[in-house]
Amino acid sequence: ACAELAAGLAARGVQRGDRVGVLMDVSLDSVVLWFAVARLGAVYAPVNTSYLGDFLRHQIVDSGAKLFVVDRDYAVRLNGIADEVPALERVIIRGGSPEQSLPWPVADFGELPVEPEAPFLPVSPDDLAMLIYTSGMTGPSKGCMISHGYACQHMRTMRAGHLLERHDVIHLSLPFFHLVAPCGLTLAAAEVGAQVAVIPRFSVSKF
């Protein structure tokens, strides 16, 4: 699935070093998307799903995202900032057509071209893998530059600290715009062969 999605992104013009903006709830698709972006040597730039208006504009502009992947329910937020994100060139929507049309070329996440072989671009530990934004408590959110090497080291720390083993099952409801979800938990589970139960959002009553 990762290789197929990577091929679909490449067909939409994603190249090494490109920033891929993401506004999605936690799902299997968001996990696969993260690996697919890394496979292309591109940069995963997730946005807080509560953001809209100037907060959303700031992270899209600051990251330099040319492609934006968004859940259908959040897509309409892009219209409010359309004139303020000149670098954005195309949008991929997951979950069906949005309520309003968008002023960019739009593709359906589930209908991206599928190829049997996707490009796999080697990266070095120092290459940029992610832009994870701070909460913005002291001003506009700052993009923390997470390298592939840092992501792997964070994974090792989380794996050791939680004593993760193959038989474990991780309850994952943390959003992917938080470093712990992709690097600390998902990657650690993959490393030891554990399972991850993906939950779109945490619910106290259902937990």
pLDDT tens per residue across all 207 residues of the chain:
788 889 889 888 899 999 999 999 988 898 899 999 999 999 999 999 999 999 999 999 999 999 999 999 999 999 999 999 999 999 999 998 888 889 999 999 988 876 666 667 888 999 999 999 988 788 888 999 999 999 999 899 988 888 889 999 988 888 888 887 777 888 889 899 999 988 888 888 987
70: region left, alpha or beta (phi > 0 left; psi from -120 to 50 alpha):
beta
Q: Which helix (H) or strand (E) holds 28?
A: helix 28-39
Q: Hey, is 176 helix, strand or coil? A: coil
Q: Hey, is 79 helix, strand or coil? A: helix
Q: What is the pTM of this model?
A: 0.91
How far apart are the C-alpha atoms of 26 and 182, rounded to whole Å?
10
How far apart are the C-alpha atoms of 172 and 187, rounded to whole Å?
12
Q: Hey, is 204 helix, strand or coil? A: coil
Of 153, 17, 23, the closest CA to residue 75 belongs to: 23
